[in-house]
Amino acid sequence: MLSSVLRCFVAAFSVLLLNLATAGATHAAVAEASPGAALFKQHCAGCHINGGNIIRRGKNLKLKTLERDDLATVTAISTIAREGRGQMSGYADVLGADGDQLVAEWVLMQAQNAWTQG
């Protein structure tokens, strides 16, 4: 009797764990699968890891900073991604046809989420 109750608990617990693991994997897969995220990782994260800026700390990609610099739009960010700005050079050559747009949309979304996802 006791052992069957135990077994039932163990089974229920495993299902729960499995669900948690799958949910985590799905979330990670979505973040990885986003082309904007992949472009950012490849071409921007070297300097802007987690939305920061390792070269000019004050010029980061946090929403407050983008708003301060009037850059909190996909258009403004995609222009910088393509052409650069100040000490940052442009990445038009490596981003591909829609890459500037995709990466800019992703950056703005991350900024709006305080860089807590992906």
CB of 27 to ligand HEC, least distance (A): 23
Residue (7 or 56) nearer to ligand HEC, CB = 56
Q: Give the list of residues 6+ apart from residue 42 with CB closer than 8 angstroms, or none.
A: 94
Q: Give the list of residues 6+ apart from residue 36 with CB closer than 8 angstroms, or none.
A: 102, 103, 104, 105, 106, 107, 109
Nearest to 80 by CA among 46, 107, 112: 107
Residue (22 or 117) nearer to ligand HEC, CB = 117
Binding of ligand HEC by 55 (CB under 6 A): yes
Residue nearest to ligand HEC (CB): 86
Site string for ligand HEC, 81-100 (x = CB under 6 A): x---xxxx--x---------
